[in-house]
Structure formats: structure tokens, C-alpha cells
A and B are shown apart, each in its own frame.
Chain A
């Protein structure tokens, strides 16, 4: 809705400008035409202000998944209704008690920006987050298309920067840390100026949107699993909706708090020069294999045509549509019987709608660049511990694999030390010369 308002706003001035420029010359001689002009201006104003009169904010359905699963309108409607029953609306969120979400925090973060008590503000999510992440948490707010990397889409329930194992959810503290520090090198700013209570409320709300999005995905995928006798409708009982759909998602979030990665301390009296040398060996070697993606120079140019999981979904969808259209082109309606022709038309209608969904409800897929390790800018934090987490568990949703299990902890620490040395150019013997920023040397 913000997008529409913004577009409408920019239109009016340009129309106005031309009108004023010409009006002086027109008034004396051409009264009826001038009247027409007024009518046009009024019409323009009426139609553009009409956009502002949007009803209460509403959640957007995950149309890409819906199109992928070939849901019928009545099935989409059922998903929307079930989601409203379980999770409320953007102005009045709620969640099944099984999710363990704090309703007071959600209320503080949800709804339009407003204040009832002096100094206390509600609607934090729409004040600080929705421009980029969207009201539905789909990472498709009005500004999203202009950012690189795109804002996170919470709905698949996958988060990159966390202190838990790859497959686990982030802890509450992980989300708080991302909000407080921002993500260096991306458009995600630091919200350190917000009070702890506000950051806490926003973290809870992100969790809420993520659980809601995952439940939405699960519901949409459940249609395929239905038996014929269900006639394309999901059962609306506790056993299915809560126990089968909501609980697995909720439990995963609750399990995260106990799934912290166990990090052994780096040796206190470690020989740093030797450790860096060992790390370098691992970086280029067949064991850790960092070089394959981060490149021989560490500039992140080793693997430049891979996609992250969010973009892969859209890319795959584009391929499905393209493949389907090619297949449909080859098919000749000439030798089809009536049934086949009906099926063929239905297929074409589906492909057409899918294409519209991809144009309007998804951002163009973009490749993911492995981190340039020469810059010393790390999205998930620059502490040695943060780098340890990234190498140990990999980065969920990104191509970065986990080294856990096959690379022992002491080796991970060596790699951390080597990576931390990369932004500096060691001209001579490691550890002897004064490190220098590569930029200064040039």
C-alpha cells in the first residue's frame, strides 16, 4: 500500500506543473477548455487520493508457493482463513499458545504507528521494519527491489546469523543481536538506539511472522498430500492444524534455545603466526576447501553463479514456467480431443498466472557472492566467535557448508585466525612485521 501511495504522490506534481504553465495563456480565450482542465485535475486528484484510503493492513498470501502448488482460489481462501484464525491480522496479531509467543510484545510491535501514553509508541514493526521486510515479513516491502542483498523473507523460517547448528532456528538472543548491531555490508542498519524492550518486542514479532510464514507454507504444501476423498479441502480440526502443522514449527523455535554450538576456547598462548600459517594451509587445502568459493585471492570470486535458497525458489519457478511454455508451444491443439483441449487450456491459464505472480509478487532472482574476505566486513559479526560459528555450522540458506564433524575445532580456530589476517597485507614474515591495511599499502 505504501508503494501505491508513493507512486501516486509523484504523479500529481508533474501533472500540476504542466497545468500551471499553460493556464495563464488559456483562461481568457478558452473558457470551456479550461473547465475541462479543472475536471481533469479534479479527476486526477480523486483517483490518486483514492489510493490513500486503504482499509486496515492485511497479510499477503504466499502467491509464489500457491502458484507452484496449483492451488485453486477456494483453496487459497481456506489458507487465508485458517491463517487469520491462527495468527490474526497485522493490526491484531495472535498466535496459538503452543507457539509460546508473548502477546504483549506482539501488540507493542504490531499495528499502525501510534501512541496512547506520552513517550510510549506502538507499531514498531511498521515504523522500523516494514519498508524493507514488508507487512507480511515476505522481504518485499516497497524498498526491497532497490536493495542488494534483498531484505530477508522470514516466511521459510531460515535465518543465517545465529549461534545454533545449521538446521536449527536462531535463539532469541541471536535475533536481538542482529537488530542491535545490524548486518555490516548489507542494508540492515543497527537499531541500537531503541530501548531493550523495543528490540525485544521486535525480535518476538519477527519470530511470530516467521512461524506464521512457515505454517502458511506447510498448509499450502499439505494440499498435495490430501486424499481424493478430502475433495481438495484441508481438515479444520485441532489434530491437523495444531498438532500436525503448527507444533513442529513451534517446537523447532523452542528447541533453539538449547541448541547452542559448543565452542571450545582457543588456546590462550596460541602461536598466532603458526596458527595463521596452518589456517592458510587449510583454506587452500582439500580439507576445508574455502578457496573453491572464496577464491584464490580471498576476494570472494571463486563461485559467482550460485544462488541462495530464497532466490533459488524463484529461479526454479521461472524455469518451471519457461519449460511449461516451451512444452505448450510444441503441443498442437489440432489433434487433441475435447478433454485434452480443456486440460491444455487449464495448463496455459496456470502458466500465465504463474508468470504474473513471478512478475508482481517476487523479486528477480540474484546470484549470491561468497564473502570478500579482504574487506574485514562480516555480516554476522566480526568477533572471532562469530566467524567460528559461520565456519562450524555453515550459513543456513546460503551455499556455505558446515565444517563441523570433518574439520576439528582447533583447525576451525586456525581458519578463523587466517581469515582475520586477510584484510591486512603481511609484507614479510608473519607476525614480525607490523600489519598494514592493504588499502594504505596501495
Chain B
């Protein structure tokens, strides 16, 4: 990784050219040739200084100022402030969506994590911690920890639960590798270890010290787009993912790869987003070849359910190429 981190100093490259040629001149060459060398060097220096004007940085496109003025006018004028949004079709009743993800490739052995702190607890009795970014059930090939959530809910059946969801850490590992919660739902962040941890949920500014055996409550204030990382800065190998949704229409696939989202709004078009930590897709999106579901490259598919229907998508096969090796 190191070689990539050079700070480009164009200064140096322009300085060295004239100097190196002037040394050549002193070492006995005849005058006319020397002066040609010199002038040549100066022309090279000019050549180098020309692209220097462009800078080493990648410049993005400049704004279209005329369009900007028109847009500013539109945003500040009271009239036409909001374009009339078309009414989305709304259905009645509720339905369930379920299915099962299986992994078509060979998962390989999980890599052991480097545990170099608090070893008396974290690698007690020779205990080893393993990388959990790809968990495939040996017998059923089920792919665990695939996240699936609804993008466009028009209505919600259940109110936000008030009882706390438990998010625990033990033996220097978060017990839930991927967890989902609703915005406004209290999450009891626990520490069942005899040592202290801190829990840092990216994108939320939550980073709290959790003393041994204690807990603290976190409530997500807004939705995360895709799942965000949960880490412990004291023990850098600890990692989990969290996803917070307003409506709670979210599932994390179980150890056998199965998932089920109940009480979905029926009779209207639904769009789901699918994500996995190790996906090769854009930002972790899982895209499958499912033309009838219009499954696209952003990892989204569309479906409409009938009232009281339990739709089983069956076995959804995630190809080996969709997961980073």
C-alpha cells in the first residue's frame, strides 16, 4: 500500500532537469553543444511547467452558472415551490415475503483474526476468533447475514417497539454480526466481558464506553442507507454491521440463509434492496439474475403481493463471483 501514498512534488522534477544537464556541460563537452544542451533543458523545463498549470488533482466539471441562476430563482420563488407529487397507488391488507439465500461457491476456511490485546480474555484457553464476513452453512449452503429491506413503504402495521433490542459483546466479539433495528427503537448495547469495550457505530456519531458487565442505551435518530459498521476502537478486530430503518421492514438472513418479512403492505408495488458485506456489487449490493423480479445492478428488485399472501421466493442462488474472495 505504501508506494501509492506519495505526495507528488512537481517542484523536484523541474529542479532536477537543469541541474543534471549543467553537470554534463562541465565535464568537458564543447561550448556549442553545451549551450544546445542547456537550451534543450530549458525547453524541457518549459514543457514540464506547462502541464503544471493543470495541477495534480482531478478537477470535476465546473457548475453551469446560467442553470444555477434559474434553479436558484425556482427554489426561492414561492410559486411552483413544490412540484405536485403523483399519488402512489396504495393497497390494503398485509402480506409476507420469504426466501432463502444459498452460496454457489466454495466459501473456504474463515481466516483467524489477529488478537493482540487483552489476550487473557480475548484468547482465553487458546480460544480463536474468526473472520465472520462470509458465513455459509456447511450442510445447507445457506448464506447468512444477507440484509434485505423495503425501500418505499407507504404504510406500516406495527408501531415502533418500545422494549429494547439487545446488542451484546462477549469474548471480544459482537454476538450479532449484522443487526437491524427501527429508528426510535431503544438498543441496549451490552458488554458481557470482564474487560471494558467501546462501541462505535459509524455514521451516527455514537461511540460509547461500555464498562465491564454494563450496558448503555442507543436509539437511532435516522435511517442508514445501507448498513453501517460497528467497531470497538480498543479491540480493532471487532466488527459488526447495523441497519436502521423507519418502518422495520428489514430482514437479516439466518444461519441457513432463510429470511422472512411479515406484515408488508399488500396490493402495491414494493421495492427491496439486498446487501451483503462481501458483495462485489456497488456498495455491497447483491444483484441476481432474476428478470421477473427486475433485479438490477444496484441490488434492488420489485414485487407486488396480494392481501394475506405468503410469497416464497424459494432458493436464491448467490453466484461465487458475486462475493469477494
Name the residue of chain B whose CB is nearest to the CB of A33: B35
Per the 8 Å Cβ criterion, residues 361-378 of A in contact with B are: 361, 363-365
Contacts of A288 in B (CB 8 A): 196, 209, 211
Residue of B with least CB distance to A29: B31
Taking the complex as formed, is B29 at the interface, i.e. its CB lies under 8 A from any CB of chain A? Answer: no
Asked if B234 is at the interface of the complex by the 8 Å CB criterion, the answer is yes
Contacts of B62 in A (CB 8 A): 58, 80
With a CB–CB cut-off of 8 A, which chain B residues contact A44? 42, 45-46, 49
Identify the closest chain A residue to B215 (Cβ). A406
Check: B111 CB closer than 8 A to any chain A CB.
Answer: no
Query: A70 and B39 in contact (CB under 8 A), knowing A61-B60, A80-B62, A401-B198?
Result: no
With A70-B282, A82-B71 in contact, do A406 and B63 touch (Cβ < 8 Å)?
A: no
Any chain A CB within 8 A of the CB of B11?
Answer: yes
Contact between chains at B63 and A11 (CB < 8 Å): no
Given contacts A40-B46, A224-B298, A359-B4, contact A286 B195 (CB under 8 A): yes
Query: How many residue pairs at the A-B interface have CB separations less than 8 Å?
Result: 242
Residue with the highest number of chain B CB atoms closer than 10 Å, among A70, A158, A402? A402
Q: Roughly how many angstroms separate A406 CA and B215 CA in the complex, as a whole number? A: 7
A420: interface (CB < 8 Å):
no
Contact A356:B209 (CB < 8 A) given known A15-B18, A18-B38: no
Is A126 an interface residue when CB atoms closer than 8 A count as contact? no
- Contact call A289/B209, Cβ cutoff below 8 A: yes
Instruction: Enumerate A56-101 residues with CB–CB distance to B below 8 Å.
Output: 58, 60-61, 63, 66, 70, 73, 76-77, 80-86, 96
| A224 and B225 form a contact (CB under 8 A) | yes
Question: A358 and B35: CB pair below 8 A?
Answer: no
Partner of B4, one of A8, A227, A358: A358
Q: Mark A388-431, 1 if CB is under 8 A from B, else 0.
A: 00000010100111111111000000000000000000000000
CB distance from A419 to the nearest CB of B (A): 15
Partner of B72 from the list A19, A26, A85, A401 (CB cut-off 8 Å) is A85
Q: Which residues from chain A contact B221 at a C-beta distance below 8 Å? A: 167
B191 smallest CB distance to A (angstroms) = 9
Q: Check B127 for interface membership: any CB of A closer than 8 A.
A: no
- Assess whether B11 is in contact with A7, with CB atoms less than 8 Å apart: yes
> In the assembly, what is the distance between CA of A174 and CA of B225, in Å?
31
B117 and A292 contacting across the interface, CB-CB below 8 Å: yes
Selected from B11, B68, B83, the residue in CB contact (under 8 A) with A84 is B68
Q: Quick check: is B319 within 8 A (CB to CB) of the other chain?
A: no
A118 interfacial by beta-carbon distance below 8 Å: no
A61 to chain B: which residues have CB within 8 Å? 60-61
Query: Within the complex, what minimum Cβ distance (angstroms) separates B233 from chain A?
Result: 4
Which residues in A have their C-beta under 8 angstroms from that of B324? 323, 327
The residue of chain B having its C-beta at the shortest distance from the C-beta of A51 within the complex is B53
Whether B43 is near chain A, meaning CB under 8 Å from some CB there, is yes
Say how far A137's CB is from chain B's closest CB, in angstroms.
Answer: 16
- In chain B, positions 8-24 with a C-beta closer than 8 Å to chain A are 8, 10-11, 14-15, 18-19, 22
B54's nearest neighbour on chain A, judged by CB, is A4
The reply to whether A145 and B7 contact each other, CB–CB distance below 8 Å, is yes
Q: Which of the segments B74-82, B142-150, B173-181, B240-248 contacts the partner chain?
A: B74-82
Contact residues in A for B206 (Cβ distance below 8 Å): 166-167
> Is A77's CB under 8 angstroms from B75's CB?
no
Residues of chain A contacted by B151 (CB below 8 angstroms) = 225
Contact A22 to B35, CB < 8 A, known contacts A7-B10, A77-B64: yes
User: Hey, which bits of chain B sit against chain A, CB under 8 A?
Assistant: 1, 4-8, 10-11, 14-15, 18-19, 22, 31-32, 34-36, 38-39, 41-43, 45-46, 49-50, 52-53, 55-65, 67-69, 71-72, 74-76, 81-83, 85, 117, 151, 194-196, 198-200, 202, 204-212, 214, 216-217, 221-222, 225, 233-234, 236, 271, 280, 282-283, 296, 298, 324-325
What are 22 A-B pairs with beta-carbon distances under 8 A?
Answer: A7-B14, A10-B11, A14-B15, A22-B34, A43-B43, A44-B46, A51-B52, A51-B53, A60-B57, A61-B61, A80-B63, A84-B65, A85-B75, A86-B72, A237-B74, A237-B83, A287-B211, A318-B1, A399-B200, A401-B207, A406-B208, A406-B209
Q: A84-B65, A364-B7 are in contact. List 7 more A-B contacts (CB 8 A).
A: A47-B53, A60-B59, A77-B61, A227-B271, A401-B233, A404-B208, A406-B210
